[in-house]
Structure 1
Amino acid sequence: MTEWWLWMYVAAMAGGVVLFTRWRADPCGVPLSEYRVAIAIPLWSGFWYLVMALGGGRAEVAGHTLYWARYADWVVTSPLLLVALTLTATHSLPGRRWGLMSTLVGANVVVILGGLAAELTADATARYTLYAIGVLALLAVYGLIWGPLRAHAHRQPKEIAAVYREAALLLSVLWVGYPLFWLIGPAGAGLISSATTSLLFVLLSILTKVGWSIVDLGRLRSLSGRGRLTVV
């Protein structure tokens, strides 16, 4: 039986696309590029969860079910979330710090590929080594978010810098759930079932893909309403 929560996820992503498309029609001073990123995230993610809801995107590997469609989702949407965060960090600055953005995206891809490689590995030592590499890459992402990217954000007006801090903190907290659920799920210690792991990833991803963008864009739009948002 197809898990109902996969369809719930597809519906949530469709709702996100509709909301961000409506916001894009009335951008409230926020650059259209930020709306395009926000729309692309649920579009891509919703497609791969639709594949899973229809029974695809999975395979039996190393004694458990590998939902490879999740990784196809994450390897695109997680970098896009970092692109969106970088756009907020440099909103009122000249240029977009493409070098820093590329470094963030590259480290994040290592996080995703580390998790995928670990799931594909039957040997426990090798699996946890690959998992550890992914976690170290995630720590590097955090270091960039709270180091150089935060420094750029604080060169902006304090209201926009505050939006960055809130968005960065929320994303940092949410992303802790991914390696945690992987570790306690079937690919790791096996403390929870595959179905429970899927449900947790669904709830977490809704908050990350749509909820986070609502907070980020919503705060920027609210600054426009107070006349404190300047588009460069």
Structure 2
Amino acid sequence: MTGWWQWGYVAAMAAGVLLFLRLWADPRGVPTVEYLVALAVPLWSGLWYTLLSLGGGRADGGDHTVYWARYADWAVSASLLLTALALTATHALPHRHPRLLTALVGANLAMILSGLLGDFAAEPWPRYLFFSLGALALLAIFAVIYGPLRAIARRQPTALYRAYREAALLLGVLWVGYPVFWLLGPSGVGLLGATTDTALFVLLSIASKVGWGALDLARLRELVGRGELPLGNPG
């Protein structure tokens, strides 16, 4: 059953690629970079899950299987989602604030690496130590999203600031599911079996990578199309 869930995820990512290509064909004033970032997420993620579906991207973790390809996926795709959120926060502003984006991506990479090391840890105490470090990195991401990045987004027109708040809240709610499923699954206390763990990660990732990206783009297209926002920063 795990294989079926993984192939289903690959199909969902392929559908996401086609969806974003279709939207890009009629950009409606939304900058090209927004579509490129949205498109790269399911493309990258789908490639790694194809590897998983073919039996690769995994290693023996002692008492469970470590799906290291998931971490390779998340390292880039989650960083791209944060980039998309930062673009929404600065859509109508002359500067992109690269230092904040660098901080977000750095915290994300620290979070993903902590999860991978925890997954490979043979003993419980280092496993939960790395889990705790990853959770702290996630809290740092939330601190930037709901702190300085939100303050920057507030400088934009009210409609776009509301769009940022909605996007940030939804992404935060979705991302909380990752450490929860990790902790409850085979990598953590083992309350969830491998198939259930895979199914939950698949559904959560589809919502995070295709669903969230589609909603973010749709909101921008709607606001620009109604003339409530400028065409945005073309970079």
> The TM-score by the shorter chain falls in which range?
over 0.9
Which residue matches 1:98? 98
Which residue matches 2:229? 229
Superposition pairs for residues 69-80 of structure 1, below 5 Å?
Answer: 69-80=69-80
Shift of 1:29: 1.1
Which residue matches 2:154? 154
Contact 2:28/2:221 (<8 A) preserved: yes
Which residue matches 2:208? 208
Query: Larger relative contact order (C-alpha < 8 A, sep ≥ 6)?
Result: 2
Aligned mates of 1:15, 1:227 — CA distance in 2: 30
Does 2:129 correspond to 1:135? no
Aligned mates of 1:122, 1:62 — CA distance in 2: 7
Bigger mean CA offset, 55-64 vs 208-217: 55-64
Amino acid at match of 2:72: A
Does 2:47 correspond to 1:42? no
Aligned mates of 1:107, 1:224 — CA distance in 2: 32
Contact 2:2/2:199 (<8 A) preserved: no
Which residue matches 2:14? 14
Q: Percent identity?
A: 59
Aligned-pair Cα RMSD in Å: 0.9
Amino acid at match of 1:195: T
Superposition pairs for residues 162-201 of structure 1, below 5 Å?
Answer: 162-201=162-201
Contact 1:57/1:68 (<8 A) preserved: yes
Change in CA separation of 1:227 and 1:197 when aligned onto 2, cut-off 3 Å? same
Q: Which runs of 4+ in 1 moved over 2 A?
A: none
Aligned mates of 2:64, 2:171 — CA distance in 1: 29
Shift of 1:3: 1.8
Contact 1:82/1:105 (<8 A) preserved: yes
Shift of 1:28: 0.9
Secondary structure in 2 aligned to 1:3? helix
Contact 1:29/1:229 (<8 A) preserved: no
Contact 1:62/1:119 (<8 A) preserved: no
Contact 2:150/2:165 (<8 A) preserved: yes
Count of aligned pairs between the two proteins: 232
Shift of 1:5: 1.3
Contact 1:2/1:54 (<8 A) preserved: no
Shift of 1:7: 1.1
Secondary structure in 1 aligned to 2:215? helix
* TM value normalised by structure 2: 0.97
Aligned mates of 2:30, 2:229 — CA distance in 1: 8
Secondary structure in 1 aligned to 2:99? helix
Aligned mates of 2:224, 2:145 — CA distance in 1: 25
Amino acid at match of 2:156: Q
* TM value normalised by structure 1: 0.98
Which residue matches 2:68? 68
Contact 2:20/2:39 (<8 A) preserved: yes
Shift of 1:229: 2.2
Amino acid at match of 2:80: L
Aligned mates of 1:33, 1:203 — CA distance in 2: 26
Amino acid at match of 1:83: T
Shift of 1:2: 5.9
Which residue matches 2:217? 217
1:182-219 residue CA offsets vs partner (Å, 9 max, x unmatched): 00001111001011101100000000000000110000
Which residue matches 1:30? 30
1:83-109 residue CA offsets vs partner (Å, 9 max, x unmatched): 000000000001100011000100011
1:41-70 residue CA offsets vs partner (Å, 9 max, x unmatched): 000000011111111111111310111110
Structure 2 residues not aligned, in runs of 5+: none
Structure 1 residues not aligned, in runs of 5+: none
